[in-house]
Structure 1
Amino acid sequence: MPECSNCGSFVTVDYVRVFSPNGMNNPRVCPHCEDMVRDGVEVREARSVRQ
């Protein structure tokens, strides 16, 4: 089962297919990581509040 590399939450295979680069089995962040965003190859805190 795929899971978020940041928080460990379950994500669907479709989520991985859409939001992860080819060849990656686990996304770097997921919808449960509301205060985190992908920044190149890194994960960082969001600069603005997510709604």
Structure 2
Amino acid sequence: MPECKNCSSFVTQNYVRVFAPNGMDAPRVCPHCEDMVRDGSQVREARSVRQ
């Protein structure tokens, strides 16, 4: 089962297909990472509160 690289939460194959970069089998962040965002090839803390 695929897991988020940031928080290790379960993600679906469809989520990986859409949100993970080509060639990666796990996303860098997921919906459970409310305080983190993708920034280019890195992951950083969000600058504003997520709603």
Q: Which residue of 2 aligns with 1:2?
A: 2
**2-side partners of 1:31 and 1:18: how far apart?**
13
What is the TM-score of this pair, normalised by structure 1? Answer: 0.96
Regions of 4+ moved over 3 Å: none
Measured on the aligned residues, the alpha-carbon RMSD in Å equals 0.5
Q: Which residue of 1 aligns with 2:39?
A: 39
**1-side partners of 2:20 and 2:7: how far apart?**
15
**2-side partners of 1:30 and 1:50: how far apart?**
13
Unaligned runs of 5+ in 1: none
Letter in 2 for 1:14: N
Percent identical pairs in the alignment equals 82
What is the TM-score of this pair, normalised by structure 2? Answer: 0.96
**1-side partners of 2:2 and 2:8: how far apart?**
9
Unaligned runs of 5+ in 2: none
